[in-house]
Amino acid sequence: MSENDVIKVENVSKTLKGKTVLRDVSLTLERGKIYAFCGRNASGKTMLLSTIAGLIVPTRGSVTVFGQRVSEKRIYPENMGLIIGSIGLWPHITGMENLALIAEIKKTADIDDMREAMSRIGLDPDDKRKYKAYSMGMKQKLILAQAIMEKPDLLILDEPTNGLDEDAVVLFREIVAQEKKRGVTILIATHQLDDISGLHDCMYTMRDGLCEKGRRAV
């Protein structure tokens, strides 16, 4: 398998304010598969995904995403959809207007892509309500829509089902399965394992900055 077909995390550690939040993590993740990262809050899930996304520079080690070295000099993986941390959208404009502003950054998604993304996750692209009037679940749906609208090759999703009701979780699961069929590599960090049960090809457990393959969190 070539370097262009894997994500390699090699001996990555991260220390913040004297606290080690990632401890010598090494992973090889194959293209086109779904990976689940489970663990309690502050276990290191978000920090690991942020490092793979190029948002965090590791204290030690390296990250390569499909042949591209990331996390140095603010280099990010190409063609990535991202939900991580608190995504601040604009409160005084509609959902579609929010997506249009985000789409201006890369200019790869057109109006049809935006409408399709909203419809797929159960939002009305013609809804004239401002984002500030959305329920918590609707806000999370719009955040999901922005992650998929540009048809990325890599999806990094941190707690993507937070705030979603049962029907929306079903839609989310369908979207994840469809994206995998399209060949997308999907990394999901969650403490709600029931929401992704049966979806993932491989699971990692995060605990105190350590990452172990195939074990559930305690």
Q: Do 24 and 69 fall within a single domain? A: yes
**What is the average per-residue pLDDT within 187-207?**
93
Position 26 pLDDT exceeds 90:
yes
Q: Do 93 and 73 fall within a single domain? A: no
How many domains would you assign to the chain?
2
Buried b (16+ CB within 10 A) or exposed e, 67-94: eeebbeeeeebeebbbbbeeeebeeeeb
Q: How far apart are CA 2 and CA 17, in angstroms?
A: 37
- State how beta strands 6-16 and 202-207 pair: unpaired
Q: Do 122 and 175 fall within a single domain? A: no
pLDDT at position 85 is 79
**What is the average per-residue pLDDT within 45-74?**
92
The pair of three-digit structure tokens given for residue 134, joined into one six-digit string: 């959305």
Residue after which a domain boundary falls, among 98, 130, 151: 151
Is 143 among the domain residues?
A: yes
Position 215 pLDDT exceeds 70:
no
Q: Do 206 and 140 fall within a single domain? A: no
The pair of three-digit structure tokens given for residue 43, joined into one six-digit string: 């276990």
Q: Do 111 and 172 fall within a single domain? A: no
Is 218 among the domain residues?
A: no
Q: How far apart are CA 62 and CA 51, in angstroms?
A: 9
The C-alpha angle with vertex 111 and arms to 135 and 131, in degrees rounded to 5, equals 20
Is 56 among the domain residues?
A: yes
Q: Do 174 and 194 fall within a single domain? A: yes
Q: Do 95 and 67 fall within a single domain? A: no
Is 84 among the domain residues?
A: no
Is 60 among the domain residues?
A: yes
Q: Do 2 and 72 fall within a single domain? A: yes
Q: How far apart are CA 95 and CA 164, in angstroms?
A: 17
Q: Do 8 and 44 fall within a single domain? A: yes
Count the alpha carbons within 13 Å of 64 in the hemisphere toward its beta carbon: 13
pLDDT at position 217 is 42
Looking at the DSSP bridge assignments, the partners of residue 92 are none
pTM: 0.95
Q: Do 109 and 161 fall within a single domain? A: no
pLDDT in tens, 116-167: 999 999 999 999 999 999 999 999 999 999 999 999 999 999 999 999 999 9
Residue after which a domain boundary falls, among 151, 170, 188: 151
Q: How far apart are CA 150 and CA 79, in angstroms?
A: 8
Provide the percentage of residues in the chain whose pLDDT is more than 90. 87
Q: How far apart are CA 120 and CA 44, in angstroms?
A: 31
Is 103 among the domain residues?
A: yes
Q: What is the CATH number of the domain that holds 46?
A: 3.40.50.300
Q: How far apart are CA 185 and CA 204, in angstroms?
A: 15
Q: Do 110 and 144 fall within a single domain? A: yes
Domain extent, residue 105, equals 89-151
The pair of three-digit structure tokens given for residue 93, joined into one six-digit string: 């404009």
Q: Do 16 and 71 fall within a single domain? A: yes
Dihedral sign computed on CA atoms, order 147, 153, 65, 191: positive
